[in-house]
Amino acid sequence: MIIDYKNLITATGLVLLTAACNQPANEPGTTEAAEQEANTVTACVGSLDRKDFQDTIDGKSSDLYVLKNSNGACAAITSYGGRIVSLVVPDKDGKPTDVSVGFKTVKEYQGPGDAYFGALIGRVGNRIAKGKFSLDGKEYTLATNNGPNSLHGGIKGFQAVVWNAVQSNDSTLSLSYVSKDGEEGYPGNLTVNVVYTLGADNAVKIDYKATTDQKTVANLSNHTYFNLNGEGSGTILNHLVQINADKYTPVDATLIPTGKLEPVAGTPFDFTKPAAIGARLDTNVNQQLKNGGGYDHNFVLNDAGTSLHQAAQVTGDQSGIVMDVFTTEPGLQFYIGNFMSGKSSFKSGAKDDYRTAFCMETQHFPDAPNQKNFPSIVLEPGKEYTSTTIYKFGVKK
Ligand code: BGC
């Protein structure tokens, strides 16, 4: 049977990955390959099977969507948690490399091994001390799901809900979700839209928007775990990192900011020049590294304003893959997989071993609702929350 790609796409309303990453988007494969690829997203995204992402969760159907360009990049995203499941870009030799770690099935993302892999984070990313904050004199109580604190929106944050998804072409996926008044303890119905765009320049852009019908708080992010040498290639400690931040926000032993903005100069937090992640990780020497169990801190970005600025650059020591991070946000949580425990297996079969991936979560600062000196995350009715982050991939030879 000959499958007509254009009709397949129109008929299903979904864009299945039907061509290898490094083939022109519309070039048909062989009939056999097409039949196989109708369900198995090969080449671009390893051996993900779309069927493994089709489930009914809380009465809503989840699925898998694939963005691709003609420069060797593809991204597979599931509507469950709006998660980047796979992100393939060419390495310095042109070899397709999956730089995001994650699972093969939506079931695993719902299981105990998940640590927000690839997910959209909200309503409030990072920690809120003791799960409490006040707005206009009224105290709100959130679930405490991380020691004494609330982390990443509570027990069932945006990573654990099925988003409505509309894919109109190969480069854009629009996701939306309405978080109900009182959900996870937050006030106001929050209507959230997130658009993933894969550009011809191998940049993944994430545009976030949200509105509310009651005063609330919002701080959205994405929690992709990257290994620029490729999923399953081991430690990330030799990756080179540069972060455009002269200050960071030190934390207590429960990872709540002390409220101070401290200079990075003369500390292991100085990434103003490229440094290997693992070069200065001695927790006996630095109390902040001890508190975080390694890097798990918010960096205060130098050029923050409302427009896009460069937050960071990371280079995979083996692959030569370079990731540039741009954002409109004032902060960047640099987390190096200190809690990865080796108990689960990723797509490639590799274990989620200690420090085999890192996150660069763009954000307003942690615990903002309780910290007077931090930029506010309050959202009022009639105002729109907007945020944009770009992860752009290239190579250094
Ligand atoms: C937090 C870490 C946490 C990780 C996964 C990061 O954003 O800062 O402390 O372990 O998310 O939950």
Domain residue extents for the chain? 14-395
| Residue 347 predicted with pLDDT over 50 | yes
From 309, 296, 193, select the one nearest 245 (Cα to Cα).
309
Give the 3-state DSSP-derived string for 140-197, with helices as H, strands as E and coil as C: EECCCCECCEEECCCCCCHHHCECEEEEEECCEEEEEEEECCCHHHCCCCEEEEEEEE
Number of helical H runs and strand E runs in the chain = 4, 31
Nearest protein Cα to ligand 1, atom 8: 296
Alpha carbon of 1 to ligand 1 centroid (Å): 48
| Residue 205 predicted with pLDDT over 70 | yes
| Residue 116 predicted with pLDDT over 80 | yes
| Candidate from 359, 364, 367 with most ligand 1 atoms within 8 A of CB, to mutate | 359
Q: How far apart are CA 191 and CA 282, in angstroms?
A: 43
pLDDT band per the 50, 70, 90 thresholds, residue 39: very low
**What does the pLDDT average to over 31-55?**
67
Helix (H) or strand (E) holding 32: helix 31-37
| Candidate from 145, 152, 220, 251 with most ligand 1 atoms within 8 A of CB, to mutate | 152
Q: What is the pLDDT of residue 232?
A: 95
Is 223 among the catalytic positions? yes
Find all residues with CB under 8 Å of 146, minimum gap 6, and list them: 127, 254, 255
First to last CA, the chain: 44
Written as six digits, the tokens of 357 are 């991936």
| Residue 106 predicted with pLDDT over 70 | yes
Residue that has been written with the tokens 């001890």 in this structure: 290
Q: How far apart are CA 394 and CA 99, in angstroms?
A: 12
Task: Tell me the fold of 14-395.
Answer: Beta-galactosidase; Chain A, domain 5 (2.70.98)
Alpha carbon of 173 to ligand 1 centroid (Å): 26
**What does the pLDDT average to over 13-25?**
34
Q: How far apart are CA 153 and CA 179, in angstroms?
A: 11
Q: Could you tell me if 39 and 52 are in contact, meaning their C-beta atoms sit under 8 angstroms apart?
A: no
296 vs 12: which has the higher pLDDT: 296
Q: How far apart are CA 225 and CA 353, in angstroms?
A: 12
Is 152 among the catalytic positions? no
pLDDT band per the 50, 70, 90 thresholds, residue 17: very low
Alpha carbon of 335 to ligand 1 centroid (Å): 7
Q: How far apart are CA 226 and CA 197, in angstroms?
A: 18
Alpha carbon of 379 to ligand 1 centroid (Å): 24
Residue 94 burial by CB count (10 A; 0-12/13-18/19+): exposed, middle or buried?
exposed
Type of residue at 17: L
- Nearest atom of ligand 1 to the alpha carbon of 255: 9
| Candidate from 121, 252, 255, 296 with most ligand 1 atoms within 8 A of CB, to mutate | 296
Residues in the ligand 1 pocket, defined by CB under 6 Å: 115-116, 126, 255, 296, 333, 335, 339, 361
pLDDT band per the 50, 70, 90 thresholds, residue 24: very low
Active-site residue among 108, 152, 223, 231? Answer: 223
